């Protein structure tokens, strides 16, 4: 029997696996992918090169990267039956729900499970990395009554996604900033969606189901959905002068300040620092954002009020401002998070199946014992006194 003293709500701090994929030091603000600092990757790498690093455990040679990019470039299109299915989705549906359904549907077309076959694993990696952005962009256009834009083989990964959203070739600076955003969101140890992916993977199901389960987990506002809430918060604050009273009210009511605090980081998230720099690049190129000054004051006030508790900006705080300047609708922020995190999920899927043991945690039972079954004709209804009073 497990002792109650061993119970950790949310499994906080409980090691669930051995992994060589990424590393976080929350006290020092360090994030590494396969031992390489996130700052180096953001400045020098690309999202697809970083994805290769995460999934195959090493930086690719020039020839390996060219081949990998070529494979993904020519697997971007989705089958017309998936496209027709997506046309039947309600226009009011959230893009994350559309993405989860579409990702799962890929498994219907590529249902062969050969988890011991390196060729099958590579094909699954390529398909998911290539097709997920196409499905996100397609739903965005189809929910407005428009036909989806076909991918362009002459554009790189990030530029092609922005093109499919607007049917115009993006500014090179915008495409590069977006690519760095994907790199920053690609992986972050055993977070909720990654753990969901690992649990699903441990049953030895197909990788499309693994990604679909992770997408469903990412959709929650306590995980990937927080960046949408940050912009809503900035709009509610409205001006720099309102920041102090707004924060004081949230603190007094013990409400969450969206975009601040992290289960691991007790200093400013290194990804938030890079995203802030990316935002400033975009503002210089395309014009200032009225909410940026509010965000800066909000960061200062929260640090003053809550810094001693380790409450600082996380990755969600500045990402919404960056996506807003890229003219991306706010309800696509989390699907874009998913586009990036597919590489991390696949890295953990690949690592999990090489040393697999199905996840089967235990519990601490808190119910009663030796109850007697009561026949239905002898049962009485419990009266809801509160409802009766109302």
What's the rounded Cα separation, in Å, for the pair 96 and 327?
18
Strands across the sheet containing 36-37: 22-25, 30-33, 36-37
- Integer-rounded Cα Rg, in Å, for the chain is 23
Q: Considering the chain, what percentage of its residues have pLDDT values greater than 90?
A: 88
Distance of CA 278 to the CA centre of its chain: 19
pLDDT of res. 10: 84
Average predicted confidence (pLDDT) for the chain: 94
194 in Cβ contact with 214 (< 8 Å): yes
pLDDT at 304 over 70: yes
What's the rounded Cα separation, in Å, for the pair 386 and 388?
5
pLDDT at 126 over 90: yes
293 to 39, 233, 290, 324: CA distances (angstroms):
25, 14, 7, 15
What's the rounded Cα separation, in Å, for the pair 165 and 329?
10
Instruction: Place 2 in a pLDDT band, splitting at 50, 70 and 90.
Output: low
What does the buried/exposed string (b/e) look like for 109-124 if buried means 16 or more CB atoms within 10 Å of the residue's CB? Answer: ebeeeebeeeebbebb
pLDDT at 390 over 50: no
302 to 230, 273, 276, 293, 296: CA distances (angstroms):
14, 16, 16, 14, 10
pLDDT of res. 383: 55
pLDDT of 178-234, one tens digit each? 999 999 999 999 999 999 999 999 999 999 999 999 999 999 877 887 788 899 999
pLDDT of res. 263: 86
What's the rounded Cα separation, in Å, for the pair 291 and 274?
18
Class of domain 17-223+329-355: mainly alpha
- Residues 54-64 have a mean pLDDT of 98
pLDDT at 62 over 50: yes
Domain spans in the chain, listed from the N-terminal domain onward = 17-223+329-355, 226-325
Residue indicated by tokens 């196409």: 134
Query: Rounded to 10 degrees, what is the CA torsion of 90, 96, 102, 104?
Result: -130
Q: Any idea which residues carry the catalytic annotation?
A: 262, 316
Instruction: Place 151 in a pLDDT band, splitting at 50, 70 and 90.
Output: very high
pLDDT of 40-49, one tens digit each? 999 999 999 9
What's the rounded Cα separation, in Å, for the pair 259 and 280?
18
CA atoms within 13 A on the CB side of 368: 3
pLDDT of res. 223: 82
Domain 226-325: which topology? Answer: Cytochrome p450-Terp; domain 2 (1.10.230)
pLDDT at 381 over 60: yes
Query: Rounded to 10 degrees, what is the CA torsion of 43, 44, 46, 52?
Result: -120
- Bridge partners (DSSP) of residue 23 are 32
pLDDT of res. 79: 94
| DSSP collapsed to 3 states, 98-164 | HHHHHHHHHHHHCCCCCCCCHHHHHHHHHHHHHHHHHHHHHHHHHCCCCCCCCCCCCCCHHHHHHHH
pLDDT of 76-122, one tens digit each? 999 999 999 999 999 999 999 999 999 999 999 987 789 999 999 99
pLDDT at 8 over 90: no
198 in Cβ contact with 17 (< 8 Å): yes
pLDDT of res. 315: 93
- Residues 256-280 have a mean pLDDT of 95
- Quote the tokens at residue 14: 């409980």
pLDDT of res. 311: 96
What's the rounded Cα separation, in Å, for the pair 329 and 154?
25
pLDDT at 387 over 70: no
pLDDT of res. 101: 97
Instruction: Place 70 in a pLDDT band, splitting at 50, 70 and 90.
Output: very high
| DSSP collapsed to 3 states, 340-352 | HHHHHHHHHHHHH
Burial tier of 284 (Cβ tally within 10 Å: 0-12, 13-18, 19+): exposed
């Amino acid at each position: 029997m497990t002792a109650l003293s061993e119970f950790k709500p949310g499994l906080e701090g409980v090691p669930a696996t051995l992994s060589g994929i990424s590393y976080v030091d929350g006290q020092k603000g360090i994030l590494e992918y396969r031992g390489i600092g996130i700052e180096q990757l953001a400045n020098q790498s690309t999202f697809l090169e970083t994805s290769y690093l995460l999934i195959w455990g090493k930086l690719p040679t020039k020839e390996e990267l060219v081949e990998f990019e070529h494979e993904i470039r020519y697997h971007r299109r989705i089958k017309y039956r998936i496209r027709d299915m997506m046309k039947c989705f309600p226009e009011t549906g959230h893009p994350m729900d559309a993405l989860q359904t579409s990702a799962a549907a890929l498994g219907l077309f590529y249902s062969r499970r050969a988890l011991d076959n390196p060729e099958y694993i590579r094909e699954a990696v390529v398909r998911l990395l290539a097709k997920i952005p196409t499905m996100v962009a397609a739903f965005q256009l189809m929910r407005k009554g428009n036909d989806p834009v076909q991918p362009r083989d002459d554009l790189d990964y990030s530029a092609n996604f922005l093109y499919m959203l607007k049917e115009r070739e993006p500014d090179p600076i915008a495409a590069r900033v977006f690519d760095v955003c994907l790199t920053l969101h690609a992986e972050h140890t055993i977070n909720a969606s990654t753990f969901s992916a690992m649990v699903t993977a441990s049953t030895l199901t197909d990788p499309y189901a693994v990604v679909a389960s992770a997408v469903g987990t990412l959709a929650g506002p306590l995980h990937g959905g927080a960046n949408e809430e940050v912009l809503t918060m900035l709009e509610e604050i409205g001006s720099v002068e309102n920041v102090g009273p707004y924060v004081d009210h949230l603190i007094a009511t013990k409400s969450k300040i969206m975009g601040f605090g992290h289960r691991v980081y007790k200093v400013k998230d290194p990804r938030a620092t890079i995203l802030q720099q990316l935002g400033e690049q975009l503002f210089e190129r395309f014009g200032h954002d009225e909410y940026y000054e509010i965000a800066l004051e909000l960061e200062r006030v929260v640090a003053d009020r809550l810094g001693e508790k380790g409450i600082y900006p996380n990755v969600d705080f500045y990402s919404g401002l960056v996506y807003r300047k890229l003219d991306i609708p706010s309800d696509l922020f989390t699907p874009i998070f998913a586009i990036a995190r597919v590489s991390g999920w696949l890295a953990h899927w690949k690592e999990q199946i090489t040393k697999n043991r199905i996840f089967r945690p235990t519990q601490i039972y808190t119910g009663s014992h030796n109850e007697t079954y009561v026949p239905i004709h002898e049962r009485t209804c419990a009266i809801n006194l509160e409802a009766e009073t109302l």
